[in-house]
Amino acid sequence: MARFVTVAAGQLGPIARSETRGEVVARLMALMRQAHANGCDLIVYPELALTTFFPRWYFEDQAEIDQFFEREMPGPETQALFDLARECGIGFYLGYAELTVEAGIVHRYNTSILVDRSGAIVAKYRKVHLPGHTEHEPWRKFQHLEKRYFEPGSGFGVTAAFGGVMGMAICNDRRWSETYRVMGLQGVEMVMIGYNTPVHNPPAPEHDDLSLFHNHLVMQAGAYQNATWVVAVAKAGVEDGHPLFGGSLIVDPNGEIVAEAKTEGDEVLVHPCDLDATTFGKTTIFDFARHRRIEHYGLI
């Protein structure tokens, strides 16, 4: 008997810096209702889905930076999303900026959570591959200061949920083969990835036209080489004058795109994902136990 998880990719259009958490959560709830109406078990939202992509700006005042971070999840503004998930019986992946205090030390992470159909958080992931730079670089048209505002997370774990083996990554993680392989070695059957990706790359503008190609390339390869579904969801459009590309998609375990966004606005893609479709690849060409030759991979 097939194990189907009907998934929605809940793409967001731009979030203005002036937009309140309440306004954004209302948009997330509208997408969730649409997913529920289409019989979805799970909706995947983008990276930093509650705010504008603030690492594009250089701030000196830490209090100004911290306004973009969540100190609790759910919090006063996000509780309604959890309540709706419980009411609809639909799970979700949500990306956000997390501020936490551990042993008296403040930490700031680029985080995602997986919430089950009862509204309970069942997994948390903190972004490992932080792109960009640390110091102010005023020659850029915009900054990419993730290395300044976040610290890296650790590990690519998987979670038993929705009847399968689920994994999470965030944005730049999708470009690294190790992201998929570490989860693949744990039997992952669905990798959820939220992203906010600028159209323009100031150090290499000649790459701008390749952005969507690279977006597709890495996730199709990751899906195929690890026999897993990949659900990748953008925040897209012109956000505070800065274009982010869309290209949200759902990729099957053969590396084929089965659903792809048509817009750069709020949009829902829906696909019934058969988790048992991962079995063929995991037991034949990508049977890691039989075919990997780790004695030759010493450099990694």
DSSP code of 111? E
Catalytic-residue membership of 295: no
Sheet holding 121-126, edge to edge: 121-126, 105-115, 91-102, 42-44, 4-11, 267-274
Burial class (CB in 10 A: 0-12, 13-18, 19+), 270: middle
Marked catalytic residue, from 40, 127, 235, 239: 127
Query: Number of helices and strands (H, E) in the chain?
Result: 8, 14
As a whole number of angstroms, the distance between CA 7 and CA 191 comes to 12
The closest of 269, 270, 194, 196 to 233, measured between CA atoms, is: 194
Q: In whole angstroms, what separates CA 201 from the centre of its chain?
A: 20
| Residues forming beta bridges with residue 274, ordered by sequence position | 4
The closest of 190, 200, 201 to 233, measured between CA atoms, is: 190
Tokens of 55: 């690492």
Q: In whole angstroms, what separates CA 251 from the centre of its chain?
A: 14
Catalytic-residue membership of 171: yes
As a whole number of angstroms, the distance between CA 277 and CA 5 comes to 11
DSSP code of 242? E
Catalytic-residue membership of 273: no
Marked catalytic residue, from 47, 70, 98, 189: 47
Marked catalytic residue, from 171, 235, 239, 273: 171
3-state secondary structure of 91: strand
Positions marked catalytic: 47, 127, 171
